[in-house]
Structure 1
Amino acid sequence: MTAGTINWTESFASRAARMNASEIRELLKLLDQPDVISFAGGIPDPALFPAQAISEAYTSVLIDKVKSAQALQYSVSEGYLPLRRWIAGQMARQGVPCTEANVMITAGSQQGLDFIGKLFLSPGDTALVTAPTYLGALQAFNAYEPRYDRLTLEGGNRTPESYRLAAAERGGRVGLAYLVPDFSNPTGETVPLAARQGLLDLAAALDTVVIEDAAYQALRYDGTPVPSLLALDVERSGGIERTRTLFCGTFSKTLAPALRVGWVCGAAEVIAKLVLVKQAADLHCATINQMVMHEVAEKVFEPQVARIREAYRQRRDLMLAALARHMPAGVSWTRPEGGMFVWVTLPAHIDGAALLARAVGECRVAFVPGKAFYGEGAVGNKLRLSYSLSNEAAINEGIARLGGLIGSLAAAA
C-alpha cells in the first residue's frame, strides 16, 4: 500500500460488515428499463398521489409570511405540533387514546425502525422476527449487531423460556420483537387476533418491547379489520403509558413517499428517549414537509385512502386471477386481504434468485427473490410479487411469461 493512504475496510467499525446493499433498492433500477415488466418494488403508483392538494399546500404555506418563516426554520425534534395532534386523533379512532406527547415524527417509518434498533438493541441481543420479514427492518437493526430468532406466531411450540435461553446462549437478551401484522411485507398475510394476543403474552413473559410496523394498515380491501397490537395492548394494560408496543406509521403508502413523513406512537417515556436519538441524528424532519403533510391529511386523507384502496384492490384481483391462469402445478401463493404483495412458493428445486436471473434475461420480468427477507435460515424457493405499480396488461403479460418459464423449469426437473 502506498505510504499515506488509508485502508478504508480496516478502518470501518465492526458493524459495517453487517451493512449490505438492499436487493430491492438494486432491483428498482430495473424500473428505468422500459421493456422490463417489474413486480419488484412495493412502490405506490404516482398516478394516485394527491399532487394537486400537495401543490396547493406548499403554496399556502409559502405565501403566508408567518407560516413560511416557520416552515423554512429549524424546529423541534418531536415534530410539527398540529401534525402530531392530527396523528394522535387518528390513533384514538383506532382504539389508542393518546396525546401529542405519545407521537414523534420521523423521516418515514424506516427512520423509526433505525432509532428503535439503536434504543433497544445492544450487540449480541436477540431480535425476534417473523420468517420471512421486511428486509428494511433487518437492514435497520443490523447496524446494532443483534442476533435473530424466529418469531413463531401460530402452531409452534416455542415457550418464553426457550426464547430467553436461546438469547442468553448467544450472549444477550431478547431486545425486541418485530413484525408487520397487517398485509405483511413480503407475504401479504395478516396476523389473526388470537396470534396478536399470544404475541403480547409472549412479550410480557419476556419483558420485551413489541415493534408494530403498520406501513400497510390502511390498505385493507376486504375481510374483517383486526385491532392493532397497540390498541390491544392499551386495552389489556389500561392506557398507553403502560404499554410495551411501539406503533410505526407512515404516510408513504397513502399520501406520498417523497415527503418522508412517518411517526412512532407509544408511551411518552419511550417517545422522549427517541426524541434524544432524533436530536443526535438529524435534529428534526423538514418542517415545510410536515406542515404540508398536515394540510393535505386534514383535507384529503379519507377520500385519498378510499381511492387507492379501490385501485390496488383491482390490481390484486388481476394478479391473483393471472396466477391462477398461468402458474403450473406445484406453485402456490398467498391471497392477501390488502397491502401490495403476493408471496409465491415455487417447487422445492427452483431457487428464486436463479429464477430472477433467467426471468430478467429471457422474459424481461422482475420480482424479488425470497431469500432477502430472512434474518437467518433463508428459504430459496420463494419470491415476492408486487402489484401496486402495474396495470392490467402488464400483470397479465408478466405473469404469463413468468408462469411459462417456471413451467419449463419444473418440467425439466
Structure 2
Amino acid sequence: MQWSDVFATRNARMKASEIRELLKLLDQPDIISFAGGIPDPELFPAEAFSKALATAMQPGQAKVALQYSVSEGYRPLREWIAGRMADLGVSCDADNILITSGSQQALDYLGKLMLSPDDTALVTWPSYLGALGAFNAYEPRYARLDPFSNESPELLKAQAGAAGGAIKFAYLSPDFANPTGETLSLAGREALLDQAEALGIAIIEDAAYQSLRFDGDSIPPILALDVARNGGIERTRTIYCGTFSKTLSPGLRVGWVCAAKDVIGRLVLMKQAADLHSPTLNQIATNDVARALFDEHVNRLRTVYSARRDRMIAALEREMPANVHFTRPEGGMFIWVTLDPSIDAAELLARAVRDARVAFVPGGAFFADGSGRNTLRLSFSCASDQQIDEGIRRLGEMLKAPAAR
C-alpha cells in the first residue's frame, strides 16, 4: 500500500513539532532543559484535583461525570469562566463560551472555520509554533502582522487576492507571548482593532499566559477593548482563546473560546463532528478546583515564576557576550534571545546538547517563513536556580568560544 497516494495534499504542510521532539530530552537526567514551555509539575494543585475527582465519582455525580454530555461543555464551568471574563471587562454569559480540549484544539477549529486554501492569515513574526501547526493543515498563506503598519488595507487585500485568497484573521498572543515573552501595548491593541476593522477580518486572541503577569500594569484583553468599542460581545470581531493548561493543569486538556454566539454556534458544530465533547469528568474537576483556589494558586505561580525569570535575566546579563540581546518579559514563561547574525541556533543546539548538555528551542521554528535562524527561546518555568545559573553559564561559554563566532 502506497499511503502517500491516498493522503490529502495538506499533509505536505504538516510537520513534527520541534518542541514536542525536544521534550523527549526531559527524560535524560543530565540535560539542563530550557526547552519545554511547560508548567512546573511540582506546583500542580494535585491534592485539590484528587479531592475533586473523588467527589465527581461519588454515587449520583458519577452518572453525570461518566456520561455523554453537551458539546458546549459543562455549564457550571462555562458560567465560572463567563464570570472571569466579566472581571476582565468582557460582559458575556455561558452561551458565549465553548469548552475545548485545550486552547490548541480551539486554534485548530478556528483555522478550519475560517481558512480556505491560499487565504491569508496575519501572524506575528515570530509566532506560536502550535498555532502555525494548527493553521498549516488548512493551507494558508502567511503575512506579517504589524498593528502599526503603514501599508494601506487595499494593498494588503490586493496582495492576498493575488495569492489566490482573502485575508481572514489576525492571530497573536498579546500577553507575554510564546515565544518572545513580549506584551502588546494598549496603543498596539487599539491599532490592531483599527486595522482589523479596515480589513474586515477577525482577531484571534491567544490568551494562554494572560493570568501570569508578574509586574507592570495590566492591559485589558483585546476582546474587552472590542466590547467597549462596539457595545457588546455580539458585535465584536475578536475571538478569545483561554486555557487552564498554564495555571491549573495541562494534562486535563481544558480550554475555552469566548466569542459572539454566531461564532460559538459554528464551533459547536465542529466539536460535535470531531469529538462530541471534552471529557466531562475533567471539566467537573476543573470547575471545582477553579472555584476553590484559582486566585490563590495563580498568585503562588506568579511568585515562583517571577523569581525564576529574575534569576535567568541576571544570569544572561552576567554570562552572555555583549552582542547577545534578550527580552525582559513582565510575565509568562519565556525569554527570547537574539544572537549574532552569523550563528545558526539549530546548529548551536546540536552542539549544546552534545557538549554542554543544555537544551533550548531554536527560533527558526517560530517563523512562518523559516527565518530567524539566529534566535532561540529559553523557558524558565521548570528550572531550578542552580540549573539556571549553570545552564546559562555553559551557553555563555559556548557563545564566547571562537567556534561560535
- TM-score, with structure 1 as normaliser: 0.97
Q: Secondary structure of 1:249's match?
A: strand
Shift of residue 161 of structure 1? 1.9
Q: Flag structure 1 segments of 5+ consecutive residues without an equivalent.
A: 1-5
The answer to whether the aligner puts 1:161 opposite 2:118 as a matched pair is no
Show the counterpart of 1:206.
199
Q: Please tell me whether the aligned partners of residues 152 and 158 of structure 1 are also in contact (alpha carbons under 8 angstroms).
A: no
Cα shift readout 1:240-289 (whole Å, capped 9, x = no counterpart) = 00000000000000001111000000001110100000000000000000
The correspondence of residues 217-232 of structure 1 with structure 2, limited to 5 A, is 217-232=210-225
Q: Hey, what's the Cα distance between the residues in 1 that align with 2:185 and 2:311?
A: 25
Show the counterpart of 2:103.
109
Show the counterpart of 1:133.
127
Shift of residue 176 of structure 1? 1.1
Find the partner of 1:147 among 141, 153, 165.
141
The answer to whether the aligner puts 1:303 opposite 2:296 as a matched pair is yes
The answer to whether the aligner puts 1:95 opposite 2:107 as a matched pair is no
Identical aligned residues as a percent: 61
Show the counterpart of 1:121.
115
Shift of residue 162 of structure 1? 2.3
Q: Secondary structure of 1:73's match?
A: coil
The answer to whether the aligner puts 1:78 opposite 2:75 as a matched pair is no
Q: Please tell me whether the aligned partners of residues 368 and 383 of structure 1 are also in contact (alpha carbons under 8 angstroms).
A: yes
Find the partner of 1:38 among 24, 33, 39.
33
Q: Please tell me whether the aligned partners of residues 242 and 267 of structure 1 are also in contact (alpha carbons under 8 angstroms).
A: yes
Q: Hey, what's the Cα distance between the residues in 2 that align with 1:215 and 1:159?
A: 31
Show the counterpart of 2:164.
171
The correspondence of residues 331-370 of structure 1 with structure 2, limited to 5 A, is 331-370=324-363
Give aligned pairs, total: 405
Q: Hey, what's the Cα distance between the residues in 2 that align with 1:377 and 1:261?
A: 31
Q: Please tell me whether the aligned partners of residues 108 and 261 of structure 1 are also in contact (alpha carbons under 8 angstroms).
A: yes
Q: Hey, what's the Cα distance between the residues in 1 that align with 2:278 and 2:258?
A: 16
* Matched letter for residue 132 of structure 2: L
Show the counterpart of 1:278.
271
- TM-score, with structure 2 as normaliser: 0.99
Q: Secondary structure of 2:242's match?
A: strand
Q: Please tell me whether the aligned partners of residues 78 and 104 of structure 1 are also in contact (alpha carbons under 8 angstroms).
A: yes
Show the counterpart of 2:231.
238
* Matched letter for residue 136 of structure 1: G
Q: Please tell me whether the aligned partners of residues 181 and 212 of structure 1 are also in contact (alpha carbons under 8 angstroms).
A: yes
Q: Please tell me whether the aligned partners of residues 311 and 388 of structure 2 are also in contact (alpha carbons under 8 angstroms).
A: yes
Show the counterpart of 2:287.
294
Q: Hey, what's the Cα distance between the residues in 2 that align with 1:369 and 1:91?
A: 35
Shift of residue 158 of structure 1? 2.3
After superposition, the CA RMSD in angstroms is 0.9
Q: Hey, what's the Cα distance between the residues in 2 that align with 1:219 and 1:409?
A: 39
Q: Flag structure 2 segments of 5+ consecutive residues without an equivalent.
A: none
Show the counterpart of 1:3.
none
Q: Please tell me whether the aligned partners of residues 149 and 376 of structure 1 are also in contact (alpha carbons under 8 angstroms).
A: no
Q: Please tell me whether the aligned partners of residues 252 and 258 of structure 1 are also in contact (alpha carbons under 8 angstroms).
A: yes
Q: Please tell me whether the aligned partners of residues 315 and 393 of structure 2 are also in contact (alpha carbons under 8 angstroms).
A: yes
Q: Hey, what's the Cα distance between the residues in 1 that align with 2:288 and 2:370?
A: 45
Q: Hey, what's the Cα distance between the residues in 2 that align with 1:192 and 1:137?
A: 21
Q: Hey, what's the Cα distance between the residues in 1 that align with 2:247 and 2:226?
A: 25
Shift of residue 377 of structure 1? 5.1
Cα shift readout 1:106-161 (whole Å, capped 9, x = no counterpart) = 0000000000000010111000000000000000000001000000134x422222
Q: Hey, what's the Cα distance between the residues in 2 that align with 1:280 and 1:253?
A: 27
Cα shift readout 1:143-187 (whole Å, capped 9, x = no counterpart) = 001000000134x42222222111101000001110000000000
* Matched letter for residue 47 of structure 1: E
* Matched letter for residue 91 of structure 1: M
The answer to whether the aligner puts 1:15 opposite 2:10 as a matched pair is yes
Q: Please tell me whether the aligned partners of residues 103 and 241 of structure 2 are also in contact (alpha carbons under 8 angstroms).
A: yes
Cα shift readout 1:340-361 (whole Å, capped 9, x = no counterpart) = 0000000010011010001001
Q: Hey, what's the Cα distance between the residues in 1 that align with 2:402 and 2:127?
A: 27
Show the counterpart of 2:43.
48
Q: Hey, what's the Cα distance between the residues in 2 that align with 1:345 and 1:10?
A: 42
Q: Please tell me whether the aligned partners of residues 363 and 377 of structure 2 are also in contact (alpha carbons under 8 angstroms).
A: yes
Shift of residue 409 of structure 1? 4.2
* Matched letter for residue 177 of structure 1: A
